[in-house]
Chain A
Amino acid sequence: MSDQATARTVPQMITGRFQYDDAHTIERYEATEGYAALRKALQMHPEDVHAEIKEASLLGRGGAGFPAGVKWGFCPPGVWPRYFVVNGDESEPGTYKDRLLMERDPHQLIEGVLIGAYATGCAQAFLYVRGEMALAQERIAAALNEAYAAGLVGKDILGSSFSCDIVLHWGAGAYIVGEETALIESLEGNRGMPRLKPPYFPAAKGLYMQPTIVNNVETMANVPWIIRNGAEAYTAYGAESSRGTRMFAVSGHVKKPGVHEVEFGTTTFRDLIYGHCGGIRGNHTLKAFIPGGASAPWFYEEHLDLPLEAGAVGAAGSMLGSGAIVVMDETTDAVKAAWRVVRFFARESCGKCTPCREGTSWLEKVLRRMLDGQGRPEDIALLLDLCDNISPSIAWPPKQTTICPLGPSAVSPIASAIMRFKPEFQAYCGGGDVPTSVTINGKAYLPPEGAPAGV
């Protein structure tokens, strides 16, 4: 653990109630400062609530890390109705923080949504919860019933003139619906496929072509704490660019996988993997880790001391993304790991854009063939050229020949694995090399300095 983290106690802003088994009930929630923030917010002018969130520079926790307060300001003035949508379609492999927030503390989410709706002038909110998360759906449904009965949701909330309905919507199980425009399509009852851009932001034209705020579950879970304690208290924690705390889900070859709420932007990967998670399992050593969801370029030993902060991770050539960290030890087969990630994207491609639909499944088939002992020397060049046709010049951040970034997401694991563990690929395909015609533009894709060329 870093000195700063140990120097003072960082509050558990959003997972504090996880210690109670009955945290999902309204009794426990109200006994632990629950709905105090809503009461406070309703005494404030909506613009002041909005200003408070803006002041707290609460970053979106869904992956892109866009400041929520700024996003709320994008709604064109005077256009009604507006909708508030919570993206609870958490389905990135290795990401399971939102699920816990929804299962263990649903009222916190509901309170956050009500405050957000109040600040942005929405009378209708939708909680889009991933289809596979049955317990989360049950807990949210029960919590909504409790909240409606208590006059916390619905008409004239807590005797104020603010009314807001919250609708729980179950997804049908598609990764792509995590993309906000696909989520909106799905919410409208259509097949979940990303919308064409422009309009670029749902804030301008979203659900039913009306201004729509789409925020992640964890983002909204932060809102009650901020309103209760003020933006100043919030910004006392975390790095300059990343205030407050953040939840990270660690899985893979660590001794204690799990979700940890840590100070945002100051905690390092080493703190998380070797501190909170107890280090690599058994007597094994770290081979590589995925720092922020399946689409992120892989990180290695030399990246361990980077802080969990979007700018630093981005500068090193990857992304913090959804906060899912997957750790691989030296027993991991790099080719098989790449195949496993690519297979996920191939299966989850919505089928809309040709390069993604055909390209990811082709990549998956080539990798599978290599694993089955049918690799050919030209396969490395083939894989990289197919990657190039999905994501031109295999750059990071990725360029794309597709509408949304799902297709290019499948490129990162392949580029990472080939560049770092080329001999493993060569072993599967009887030689072969990266052709000189292929350009790869990503810092994380390059072998570490001092490492022998071609390794």
Chain B
Amino acid sequence: MSDAESKTSVKITIDGREVEAEDGELVIAAAERTGTYIPRFCWHPRMNPVGMCRMCLVEIDTGRGPALQPSCMIPASEGMTVVTDSDMAKKAQEGVLEFLLANHPLDCPVCDKGGECPLQDQAYSHGPGESRFIEEKVHFEKPIPISDLVDLDRERCILCDRCTRFADEVAGDPLIHFIDRGAQTQVNTFPDEPFASYFSGNTVQICPVGALTSRAYRFKARPWDLDQVESTCTSCSVGCRVAVQSSRNQVLRYQGVDVDAVNWGWLCDKGRFDFESIHAEGRLGEPLLRADEGHVTATWSDALGRAAGAIEAALASSGPSGVGVIGGAQLTNESAYAWAKLAKGVIGTDNVDAQLGDGLPAEAVLGLPRATIDQACAPGGTVVVLGVDPKEELPVLYLRLRHAVVEDGVTLVEVVPHATGVTGLAAHSLVHGPGAVADVVAQLLAESPADAGGIGAAALAAAGTAVRSGPVTVILGRGNLADRGDLVASAASRLAEGLDDVRFLSGLRRGNVHGALAAGLAPGMLPGSVSLDDGREWFHDHWSTVPSDRGLDTEGILNAAADGKLDVLVLLGADPLSDFPDHDLARRALAGARTVVAVDTLPNPSVRQADIVLPAAGYAESDGTTTNIEGRISRLSQKVTPPGTARADWVIAAELAYRLGDDLGLESLDDVFAELARVAPSHHGLTAEGVGIDGVLVPLDRDDARTDARTAEDPVGLQTSGGDEEPTADVDPEAAEAAAEAEAADTEAGEAEAEAEATEAQADAEAADAATPDEGDGVEPVADDEGEPAGPGLPAPVRFSATAVAVPSPDTYSLRLLTTRKLYDLGTTTQASRSLAKLAPGAVLHLHPHDFDRLGVEADGQVTVSNREGGRGSVTVPVRPSGTVPKGAALLAFLQPGGQAAELIDASAVVTDVRVEVAR
């Protein structure tokens, strides 16, 4: 720990060895840290100790004579003597283990946990060898489903309280608990209330026996058949570290990896179970070309040739602006850079946007002072949740925020258009009318606030005091897809100007959107978080060309396409027909673009309409790096081979450039990484070694970079939560292997078709190394420009300041639409994951009870929601009253089965007003 020095340390003796422990550190943790493993089941380093299983009994002497004590409950104190292997301690441990096995079914041969089971392992290492129990064991029905994702076998359960504590303490979903008494004690749900938590999969991972199993993994593999690499989850942009485990070239499971800076070992269920989409039926494995009916397969040569031909024709007829590129947030940093270079540095178009009209201006994301999760969660601080619902969009960030509020006394203020998953944690919950966010923030900052957005002056004054009282981290996201992102961005701008000590943590959710924006996949931006104008000169030295003018964002590109002004529309893992908030515009755009090229992994509605489909390697199918909400770059690792001839996105970009008569100069992943580190100002000085295992924050001179991240030399922390239960403190050989693999990932090219390029790649990487003196070992200071070729200096990072947006007043007949995201929706990846596909809650219109009476609609009745005045369509959905929605608002979640809110939204309008009528 970095703050170890600041805490007083005490000397204690463990098994005759004197060791240093932090004052207050639990004996079990101090022992493990110094190489003595004390057996345990209930203790988990990320949860409060309960001392239930009694497995960690050791003899502790604090001066009053040795006594058997649970080492998970006793903090180390000066002069304490601990004996873990005395006759008395051993008898107690063997006794507890025999007790635990008395009613355990011993069905290890058919148990998923067998082979990685702490009970099994510790029965060998700390058990009595055989049992004297000859009576009938306790029986329960086995297994019973406790949620859609998790099964519970109560016979195997040893009642350690890990899952129940997790649900209560960590997730805040106390939906499982002990019932009954004595040997009949069991974990169960309340009647008719399933364990419907977004985090239920974590209970499976931390279960020390095979009592909790996930349906997605149940009976799929034995642990000794699994092989793993460490990677980073890209289901959302929090950047949780995961161990990707596979057997026979099939990814079968993700396990959360405990890193201090990000996810603490936890994953959300969406991230944990969407591995099923990797091997989903229908994965694109061959290039496709449009035929009279549907698509026909083609060779890469034909498909790339057609795509290049279309781009050349566009350049000839309309110039660079005839080409638009939408997407890139699913790409690795390397692929995003390669595509940015292709689009902006070869084709020369600035009509490039990684966001689908559902995000925020790139300048706001990259140009406001950035915070880390640790900074946001630091005790004594204040967190302002602006717009976004972290529980639905960034679930593991929600867990960190919950811990910060509940355990560390962080003050949370939310400024949101409807009550969110953090409302219960908020000291001040400011739920404002749709579109009023900027007004509310203005009053929040005012000395003597007036009422704003339906919130009283007193509430604003109280929240304002909290916001002004300490370091503030604003979690900035796009809460409502039915009003313009500029609204919340201008509110953020006000906070940046109005507060002294304020930082921003992005709340944009899409996988690598931050990496894509930083790589320049946004209009007016160039790689390295610099604006087109500031970076033009610098990039002229590195690229063939640089766009002359600021281009269009996604809305602009789609409008151009719809108006027949776009020759080539490239969809880079993007599905505007689903994800763009204005479906009407998206449909017209895809029909109006002359040639649509889709680079994707799965056939989504937009891919089905594309003229040329290029299959890309997906998650766990290529190496690279990704960037999270903090700007932390961490590794993505290949575990399985892509289907068919699918290839990494950066390879496709390089091939296209070649066919356009140019050369990206990128022949290996190392090339891309090295060039990114060389030319992108925010990534300047970055090295593969510097990324390490825990990732690294860019720019490298950020004052918030942690110094205690795990390093390759100290991979102990690599052990997954399963690993923390290993019976010995030795480094898990599998984990060490994974560390070595992760370390080597950047020098080791992919396994499949990339193999041929490997030798070349190696040579090029070396050449690149030699050409860049900055690339030494570890991290170099960014200010050191020595050795750079003469030329323009590094451009300054982009800064953000917003212009105010005027919000029209609502008319009395309309309700203002709120469209927010739920964790589970009709997104392609979610729907391609068997376990998750049915979890989308469905389209339901939520209204304030007051508006219910006003409109004369009935609960659970069908209503028609329409925006005909705005030139959009209507949907018919059930309606329910909800106290979470302000008066005058209508909440309809995005991309849900049963009715698309995107049919109602006009992307060009500042807000969306809808009529709600009883359906006829």
With contact pairs A362-B102, A389-B95, A401-B57 given, residues A196 and B159 touching in the complex (Cβ less than 8 Å): no
Structural contact, A347 and B68, CB atoms closer than 8 A: no
A403 contacts which of B51, B182, B184 (Cβ < 8 Å)? B51
Knowing A354-B96, A401-B57, the reply to whether A382 touches B51 (Cβ < 8 A) is no
> Which residues of chain B from 81 to 105 have a CB within 8 Å of any chain A CB?
88, 91-92, 95-96, 98-100, 102-103
Flag if A354 contacts B99 (CB, 8 Å).
yes
Give Cα distance in the complex from A365 to B100, angstroms.
Answer: 16
A354 near B92 (CB under 8 angstroms)? no
B179-201 CB mask vs A (1 if < 8 Å, else 0) is: 01111110000000000000000
Chain B residues with Cβ below 8 Å from A196 are 49-51, 73
Whether A361 touches B54, Cβ cut-off 8 Å, given contacts A196-B73, A389-B95, A401-B92, is no
Neighbouring A residues of B51 by C-beta, 8 Å: 196, 353, 403
Categorize the interface residue count of chain B. Answer: 35 or more
- Chain B residue, CB-CB nearest to A376: B134
Which single residue of chain A is at the shortest CB-CB distance from B133?
A362
Contact with A along B605-624 (1 / 0, CB 8 A): 00000000000000000000
CB contact under 8 A between A354 and B100, given known A346-B182, A401-B54:
yes
Q: Which residues of A contact B183 (CB under 8 A)?
A: 346, 349, 351, 357-358, 361
Considering the chains assembled together, what is the distance between the CA atoms of A390 and B54 in angstroms?
Answer: 11
* Interface residue B141 (Cβ < 8 Å from any Cβ of A): no
Residues of chain A at interface, number, CB under 8 A: 33
Cα-based distance from A118 to B420 in the complex (angstroms): 45
Instruction: Report if A354-B52 is in contact (Cβ < 8 Å); known contacts: A196-B73, A389-B92.
Output: yes
| 1/0 contact string of B563-577 vs chain A (CB within 8 Å) | 000000000000000
User: B100, A358: Cβ atoms under 8 Å?
Assistant: yes
Contact for A362 among B67, B99, B184, CB less than 8 A:
B99
Interface pair A361/B182, CB less than 8 Å apart: yes
Query: A196-B50, A355-B95 are known contacts. Are A349 and B55 too (CB-CB below 8 A)?
Result: no
Given contacts A355-B54, A401-B57, contact A392 B92 (CB under 8 A): yes
Q: B190: shortest Cβ distance to chain A, in Å?
A: 12
Query: B88: nearest residue on chain A (CB-CB)?
Result: A392
A365-B135, A389-B96, A401-B96 given; A357·B182 CB < 8 A: yes
| 0/1 string, A378-395, CB within 8 A of B gives 1 | 000010001011101000
Partner of A351, one of B55, B95, B133, B180: B180
Complexed CA–CA distance, A32 and B177 (Å): 49
* Given A362-B133, A389-B91, also A355-B99 (CB < 8 A): yes
**In the complex, which residues of chain A have a beta carbon less than 8 angstroms from the beta carbon of B136?**
365
Please indicate the chain A residues that have their CB under 8 angstroms from the CB of B55 in the complex. 354
A358: B residues at CB distance < 8 A: 99-100, 102-103, 183
Q: Chain A 340-356 against B: per-residue CB contact (8 Å), 1 yes, 0 no?
A: 00000011111111110
Whether a CB of chain A sits under 8 angstroms from the CB of B158 is: yes
Closest to A349 in B: B182
Q: Is B124 an interface residue (CB 8 A)?
A: no
Residue of A nearest to B101 (CB): A358
CB distance from B59 to the nearest CB of A (A): 10
Q: Are B54 and A402 in contact (CB under 8 A)?
A: yes
Q: Is B182 touching A353 in the complex (CB atoms < 8 A)?
A: no
8 A Cβ contacts from B37-68 to A: 49-55, 57, 67-68
Chain B's nearest CB lies how many Å from the CB of A230? 40
CA distance A402 to B53 in the complex (A): 9
Residues of chain A lying within 8 A (CB to CB) of residue B49: 196
Does B219 have its Cβ within 8 Å of any Cβ on chain A?
no
Partner of B53, one of A349, A354, A388: A354
Docked complex Cα distance between A369 and B132 (Å): 14
- A residues in contact with B178, CB < 8 Å: 191, 193, 351
Q: Give Cα distance in the complex from A401 to B159, angstroms.
A: 17
A366 smallest CB distance to B (angstroms):
7
* Nearest B residue to A400, CB-CB: B68
Chain A residue contacts of B53, Cβ below 8 A: 353-354
Q: How far is the CA of A174 from the CA of B138 in the complex (A)?
A: 21
B336 smallest CB distance to A (angstroms): 50
Q: Is the CB of A392 within 8 A of B68?
A: yes
Contacts of B57 in A (CB 8 A): 401
Q: Which of A357, A361, A402, A403 has the most CB of B within 10 A?
A: A357
Please give me the residue from chain B that is nearest to A366 by CB atom: B135
Shortest C-beta distance, B288 to chain A (Å), equals 58
Question: Does residue A359 face the partner (Cβ distance < 8 Å to B)?
Answer: yes
Distance, CA A351 to CA B42, complexed state (A) = 14
Cβ–Cβ contact A355 & B185, under 8 A = no
A360 in the interface (beta carbon within 8 A): yes
Q: How far is the CB of A297 from chain B (nearest CB, A)?
A: 21
Task: Give A212 to B55 CA distance when docked, in angstroms.
Answer: 32
Cα–Cα, bound, A399→B95 (Å) = 15
Chain B, 148-190, contact with A by CB distance < 8 Å: what is the 0/1 string?
0000000000110100000000000000011011111100000
Nearest A residue to B103, CB-CB: A358
B757 to chain A, nearest CB (A): 57
Chain A residues, Cβ within 8 Å of B68: 392, 399, 401
- Rounded to whole angstroms, the CA-CA distance of A348 and B135 in the bound complex is 20
Q: B182 is contacted by which of A351, A386, A401, A402 (Cβ under 8 Å)? A: A351
Q: Do residues A369 and B159 form an inter-chain contact, with CB atoms below 8 A?
A: no
Among A346, A351, A354, A366, contact of B54 (Cβ-Cβ < 8 Å): A354
**Complex Cα gap A346–B98 (Å):** 17
Given contacts A362-B135, A392-B88, contact A357 B185 (CB under 8 A): yes
What is the distance, in angstroms, from B775's C-beta to the closest C-beta of chain A? 53
Residue from B103, B135, B138, B182 with most neighbouring chain A CB atoms (10 Å): B182
Q: Contacts A392-B92, A401-B57; is A353 near B181 (CB within 8 Å)?
A: no
A381 → chain B, closest Cβ, in Å? 10
Q: How far is the CB of B55 from chain A (nearest CB, A)?
A: 7
A357 near B132: Cβ-Cβ < 8 Å: no
Q: Which of B108-162 contact A (CB under 8 A)?
A: 132-133, 135-136, 138, 158-159, 161
Across the interface, B98 reaches (CB within 8 A) one of A361, A369, A389, A401, namely A389
Q: How far is the CB of A82 from chain B (nearest CB, A)?
A: 24
Residues of chain A within 8 A (CB-CB) of B133 are 362
Closest to B135 in A: A365
Q: Which of B176-230 contact A (CB under 8 A)?
A: 177-178, 180-185
Is B52's CB under 8 angstroms from A353's CB? yes
Cβ-defined contact, A355 with B96, below 8 A? yes
Q: Which residues of B contact A351 (CB under 8 A)?
A: 159, 178, 180-185
Q: How far is the CA of A359 from the CA of B133 in the complex (A)?
A: 11
A358 to B133 CA separation, bound complex (whole angstroms): 11
Contacts of B158 in A (CB 8 A): 354
> Which of A174, A365, A392 is within 8 Å of B181, CB to CB?
A174
Q: How far is the CA of A369 from the CA of B134 in the complex (A)?
A: 10
Beta-carbon contact of A359 and B181 below 8 Å: no
Q: Which residues of B contact A389 (CB under 8 A)?
A: 91-92, 95-96, 98-99
| Chain A residues whose CB sits within 8 angstroms of the CB of B182 once the complex forms | 346-349, 351, 357, 360-361
A352 touches B52 (CB 8 A): yes
- Bound CA span A350–B159, Å: 11
The docked-state distance in angstroms from the alpha carbon of A390 to that of B92 is 8
**A196-B51, A352-B159, A357-B182 given; 19 more Cβ-contact pairs under 8 Å:** A191-B178, A196-B73, A347-B182, A349-B181, A349-B182, A351-B183, A354-B53, A354-B54, A354-B55, A354-B158, A357-B99, A357-B159, A362-B102, A362-B133, A365-B135, A386-B95, A392-B68, A399-B67, A401-B68
Q: B residues within 8 Å of A by Cβ? A: 49-55, 57, 67-68, 73, 88, 91-92, 95-96, 98-100, 102-103, 132-133, 135-136, 138, 158-159, 161, 177-178, 180-185
User: Closest 10 interchain pairs by CB?
Assistant: A351-B185, A389-B95, A358-B99, A361-B183, A365-B135, A349-B182, A358-B102, A354-B54, A354-B99, A347-B182
Q: List 20 A-B contacts (CB under 8 A).
A: A174-B181, A191-B178, A346-B182, A349-B183, A351-B178, A351-B181, A352-B52, A352-B161, A353-B53, A353-B54, A354-B53, A355-B54, A357-B182, A358-B100, A358-B183, A362-B99, A386-B95, A388-B95, A399-B68, A401-B92
